[in-house]
Amino acid sequence: MRASMGDQLLLHGRIVGQQDRVAEIVEVLGADGTPPYRVRFPDGHEALVSPGPDSVVRHVNPPDAP
């Protein structure tokens, strides 16, 4: 998993009834875009996250975009 600042991290709910959460990646702490990431949720809460297989990075500006 690789990400850049400004990308979104989609965290899928892990139990029935739990909603997916989306956070903005505000800092990449791993080498070459790898986790861990500092993320900011819409309510302003920030957290340090090492995403698992139930997470997806949504690239805001894909590297091959013009």
Give me the pLDDT at residue 25, please. Answer: 97
Give me the pLDDT at residue 42, please. Answer: 95
Q: Is the pTM of this model over 0.85?
A: no
CA angle 56, 21, 12 (to 5 degrees): 50
How big is the chain by its Cα radius of gyration, in Å?
Answer: 12
pLDDT per 10-residue tile (average), the chain, 66 residues: 94 85 96 96 96 91 62
* Alpha-helix residue ranges (DSSP H) falling in the chain: none
Rounded Cα gap, residues 55 and 35, in angstroms: 12
3-state secondary structure of 44: coil
